Amino acid sequence: MTMLKPPNPLRILLALAAAAAIALAASGCGTSTADEPRGRTLFVQKCGVCHTMAQAGTTAQIGPDLDAAFAAARASGQNGETVEGIVESQIEFPRPSNDNPAASMPADVVTGQDLEDVAAYVGRYAGVPGAAPPEVQGGAGAQIFADNGCGGCHALAAAGSGGVVGPNLDEFLAADDDAAAIEEMIADPNAEIAKGFPASVMPQDYGQTLTPKELEDLVQYLIENTPAGGGSKKSTGS
């Protein structure tokens, strides 16, 4: 009978180490190049028109509220990397909505590096208790503009935003738009539909979600920084 030699423990350890290194490389762990601040900007522009997320300052209700969706996972101890992986998979392979097919997330809403950045951003902040938009310069109105994700839909030089879902405020707001007119545009956006843009894209509830003081501050900020008030339109570095 031929006797088999016992396995060499050193060879086993080396083989296991090599396998672990291959798995680590394949998973991409430790090699992430995600840019979370860029991911936030992309999220506001591409995803915030459908999803609520506190840190992004978005309040749309077409798709799931991402804070509510991931709150339980956070509470059960799931970390940001887990949430990031779920988000990346859902974006790459969106599931159609059976209740409202028109509200289904489109395929390839972000891809490549954009997808990596958005997933990393959502993975860090979605469902995190107390998450809030970063502070910006420019006063109370500028902060309200940022907190509510207005820059994700609108271009405004003073805010450093370049959204294209809604009108460019530097061009749309005119010298004859007074405070009352601008307030109506915010609180009742379907009262006057900007040419070239569909109705009901802008949230209809800012008149309820913003306090009278917040609405006043936002209107004043827009007056001071657009042709409505002859504003300088200089970026505040938001």
Residue 147 has a pLDDT of 85
52, 60 contact by CB (below 8 A): yes
> Domains in the chain, ordered, with CATH?
36-125 (1.10.760.10), 140-224 (1.10.760.10)
Q: What is the pLDDT along the chain (238 residues), one digit of tens a residue?
A: 444 455 454 443 334 333 333 333 444 444 568 999 889 888 987 888 789 999 988 888 888 999 999 999 999 998 999 999 999 999 999 887 666 656 678 888 999 999 999 999 999 999 999 999 889 999 999 999 988 888 878 999 999 888 888 999 999 999 999 999 999 999 999 998 999 998 888 888 899 989 999 999 999 999 999 999 765 444 444 4
Residue with tokens 């294209």: 164
Query: Which run of H or E residues covers position 135?
Result: none
Residue 231 has a pLDDT of 57
Residue 100 has a pLDDT of 62
Residue 1 has a pLDDT of 45
Residue 21 has a pLDDT of 37
Question: What gap in Å lies between CA 198 and CA 62, rounded to an integer?
Answer: 15
For the beta carbon of residue 19, count every other beta carbon within 10 angstroms.
Answer: 10
From the list 42, 49, 58, 53, the residue with the least C-alpha distance to 83 is 53
**Six token digits for residue 173:** 């707001």
Amino acid symbol at 137: Q
Residue 103 has a pLDDT of 62
